[in-house]
Amino acid sequence: MSGKTLKLCQQNHYFDRYLPDFPLFWTVSLVKNIKRFVTPLKCVVHRVLHGAKILPNFAPMYIKVQTRTKVGTDGKKHSFVYPRLYESYRDCDGKIRQHYLIPLDLDDLPSWKDRYAMCHVLNDMVVNGPSLHLNETPVTCKAREVYGQLAEKGLLGDAKKIEEKNRRQQAAALVEESLKNVRPRQAGAEFVCLEALRRLKLRSFLSSKGWSKSKIDLAMIQIAARAIYPFSEHKTVRLLRDNSALCEFFGIEPKEITKDKLYRSSLDLYSLHDDIEDYLHDRVCCMFELEDTVYLFDLTNAYMESTKISKLRQFSRSKEKRTDCPIVVLGAVVNKDGFLVRTMIFSGNTADCATMQDMMKSLNPPSSDGKKKIVVMDAGISIEDNLKWLRENGYDYITVRRGGSTDDYKIIGDHTVTVEDVKHQSIEIQFAEIENLNDTLLLVDSHAKTLKEKSMHDKAACRFEDGLKAIQKGIMTKGGTKKRDKVNERLGRLKERCSSVQKDYDITFTYDDKDVVTDMTWTRNPEKVSLRSSGEGKYLVQTSLKGYSEQQIWEFYNVIRRVEAVFETLKTDLDIRPIYHQSDEAIKAHFNLAVLAYWVVSTTQYQLRRKGCKMSWQEVKRIASTQIVVSTIAKRIDGNEVEVRQCTEPEQLLSDLYKKLELTSPPLKRRRKICVVHFSEVKKIDT
């Protein structure tokens, strides 16, 4: 029998596979006679037997020869034969595939007849076990040796593993038409806020106060929600259910959160107001290595959407010009980096100057750390009693002098320093002094402020003169207002409306015997106008600091813009007004929740500023909101349903933002769920 015939026999190994006891020489003879029918016949027989599961333990191993030709030193070509062991299997489409197992060393079996017999014995060992071949022949010994190599490398039954894997892959194949995305929720801004709270370690602080995990989770959700969605508790509940993925970060069902739970949580947080503020202030100073050298003090107010009066809600001057609504006052002490040090809530009719001492007493005294702190405040707070209290309690101060440029001040020297304000407008500053005043004075002259005040005064003068002409017309017109008392009332109301310029005019009246005004004249006093114009755009900065230059004092004072930015964030980004709550305790809890949300905002913005990025909170939310978490559902070919919930990939702007905040995406881990269908029963398996 030739080697070519034996090789053909092995290539058509289906007879050895299905009829292992059939004599080899009959197989070779049969192949010679029906060679052209082998290929279609083997496919039919294999599919019939495989489909009927007659051969469940099929082990189709065979020898494949690889020939390589090399040029020897004598210049002639020499062929080298490398026998290799292969195994065939069916893929998920039913097609036959082969894969390489191990190389074979068949030098001790020089005959191809013995080699193929060894392959036959090896297949039998794989199917039925090696114990059936106990006779010690070169063929069985070699087959047992190869079997041991396969067992050592874990390659026995490798074809079955591949076929099983292919069947699983085929069963797991998805029906493309069934793909759908459901339950999209915003996750980017939520991730940023929760990471800020994690850095602040607010959870550990609340836990130290005896709060339970569920109570802490609700508080964290509420603070983050206020920073992102500054709405009422009722609307916040709807946003948590329909728009935000905040609850998923804590494994809480959104339906479990109600507005009543949020109300109770905000009241509980307010009960720890001072303790939380002290802890958060110490935490950011430690985290960012900050040192408080300057305190910025200021107040703002928020109006109510009702006319009900209480101890807290009182009518007064509203900064939003809502004179029809009662207001509540919020006082804040801020450090030069924009972090809150202390906040307090006062009744709406509290004078600005009456709030400072109470707030400063609640802080650690300056002597506790051995350093004298500087308090920066506006003119409305810096009455003499407050300045005296600051001096007596070890504080320095910088403020705008009450009375402004109308004081009889004197310029010291001719040295003038030019600086810029936050709008990059040029400002001239120089030292000044007032008799019997020990504090240092700094005269600030702003050209832009001069133009602004001149324009305001010119418009006020036009309105005042128009009012005078209207009064004169009433005097000269039949049936008009002419009686002395009525004319004086009209003039008084006009002076009240134009109080900034009414002093510039000299007004005279002519009366008859019946005390009726017969004529009215007015002139604008140029000396008074000149005196007022000389003070336009100028104001005095008063400080207890000694030995500092004009530039240094200006830089200390100019950080007061930080507290203005804090109030702008609270009112615009965190929407503290209008207030709809009816009880005073709920109003205080409302302010406290906004203050806690501001800690999230200020921490995030400070991290960005350290990386050279000045970005508003609205812009941070806009960029972060581009990342959402969504569930993708699809049916598999085997009838089961697969659901994968994962976050979308961040876009470039968001990736840069995460990098600056040192955050790693994704916000939420990928979750996979398989819905296995067993007739009418549905079973969900989370993976």
Instruction: Give one DSSP letter per residue of 19-33, joined into a string.
Output: -TTS-HHHHHHHHHH
pLDDT on residue 677: 63
pLDDT on residue 165: 66
Answer yes or no: is pLDDT of 686 > 70.
no
Burial code (b: 16+ CB inside 10 Å, e: under 16) for 315-336 equals beebeeebeebbbbbbbbbbbb
pLDDT on residue 212: 96
Q: Show the tokens assigned to 115.
A: 């080699």
Provide the greatest CA pair distance for the chain.
Answer: 156
Rounded CA-CA distance 681/72 in Å is: 72
Looking at the structure, do residues 314 and 372 belong to the same domain, yes or no? yes
Rounded CA-CA distance 293/668 in Å is: 40
Burial code (b: 16+ CB inside 10 Å, e: under 16) for 493-530 equals ebbeebeebbebbeeebeeeeeeebeebeeeeeeeebe
Looking at the structure, do residues 275 and 166 belong to the same domain, yes or no? no
Answer yes or no: is pLDDT of 109 > 90.
no
Q: Show the tokens assigned to 447.
A: 């050209």
**CA-based torsion, 145, 146, 147, 153: positive or negative:** positive
Looking at the structure, do residues 154 and 252 belong to the same domain, yes or no? no
- Look at residue 53 and tell me if it is in a domain: no
Answer yes or no: is pLDDT of 46 > 80.
no
Beta bridge partners of residue 643, listed in sequence order = 633, 673
Q: How far is CA 231 from the centre of its chain?
A: 18
**CA-based torsion, 646, 647, 648, 650: positive or negative:** negative
- Look at residue 326 and tell me if it is in a domain: yes
Confidence band of 541 (pLDDT split at 50, 70, 90)? very high
- Look at residue 615 and tell me if it is in a domain: no
- Provide the domain limits for residue 568: 210-405+549-593
Q: How far is CA 150 from the centre of its chain?
A: 55
Burial code (b: 16+ CB inside 10 Å, e: under 16) for 145-171 equals ebbeebeeeebbbbbbebbeebeeeee
Q: Regarding predicted confidence, which is higher, 49 or 607?
A: 607
Q: How far is CA 665 from the centre of its chain?
A: 11
Q: What is the pTM of this model?
A: 0.72
Looking at the structure, do residues 248 and 393 belong to the same domain, yes or no? yes
For all residues of the chain together, what is the average pLDDT? 84
* Phi, psi for 570 (deg, rounded to 5): -65, -40
Q: What average pLDDT does this structure show over 328-356?
A: 93
Q: Is 76 exposed, middle or buried (0-12, 13-18, 19+ CB in 10 A)?
A: exposed
- Look at residue 410 and tell me if it is in a domain: no
pLDDT on residue 56: 38
Answer yes or no: is pLDDT of 255 > 90.
yes
pLDDT on residue 405: 57
Of the candidates 451, 375, 439, the one whose C-alpha atom is nearest the C-alpha of residue 407 is 439
Question: Which pLDDT tens digit goes with each residue over 378-417?
Answer: 888 999 999 999 999 989 999 999 876 556 788 888 888 9
Distance, first Cα to last Cα, the chain: 59
Looking at the structure, do residues 389 and 458 belong to the same domain, yes or no? no
Of the candidates 671, 669, 667, the one whose C-alpha atom is nearest the C-alpha of residue 643 is 671
Q: What average pLDDT does this structure show over 322-338?
A: 93
Looking at the structure, do residues 377 and 285 belong to the same domain, yes or no? yes
* Phi, psi for 538 (deg, rounded to 5): -120, 145
- Look at residue 286 and tell me if it is in a domain: yes
Confidence band of 602 (pLDDT split at 50, 70, 90)? very high
Confidence band of 166 (pLDDT split at 50, 70, 90)? low
**Of the candidates 538, 567, 583, which is a domain's last residue?**
538
The number of distinct structural domains making up the chain is 3
- Look at residue 622 and tell me if it is in a domain: no
What is residue 271's three-state secondary structure? coil
**Of the candidates 492, 515, 538, which is a domain's last residue?**
538
- Look at residue 317 and tell me if it is in a domain: yes
Looking at the structure, do residues 78 and 146 belong to the same domain, yes or no? yes
Q: Regarding predicted confidence, which is higher, 233 or 403?
A: 233
Least confident of 8-22, 164-178, 563-577, 610-624: 8-22
Answer yes or no: is pLDDT of 8 > 50.
no
Highest mean pLDDT among 57-66, 301-310, 603-612: 603-612
Q: What average pLDDT does this structure show over 87-104?
A: 76
Rounded CA-CA distance 168/512 in Å is: 113
Please tell me the total number of residues recorded for the chain in this structure: 687
Answer yes or no: is pLDDT of 457 > 80.
yes
Looking at the structure, do residues 81 and 129 belong to the same domain, yes or no? yes
Looking at the structure, do residues 235 and 162 belong to the same domain, yes or no? no
- Look at residue 576 and tell me if it is in a domain: yes
Answer yes or no: is pLDDT of 370 > 70.
no
Looking at the structure, do residues 281 and 214 belong to the same domain, yes or no? yes
Looking at the structure, do residues 272 and 131 belong to the same domain, yes or no? no
Looking at the structure, do residues 229 and 377 belong to the same domain, yes or no? yes
Q: What average pLDDT does this structure show over 479-492?
A: 90
Confidence band of 161 (pLDDT split at 50, 70, 90)? low
Confidence band of 348 (pLDDT split at 50, 70, 90)? very high
Q: How far is CA 348 from the centre of its chain?
A: 35
pLDDT on residue 11: 44
Q: Is residue 428 within 8 Å of residue 417, measured between CB atoms?
A: yes
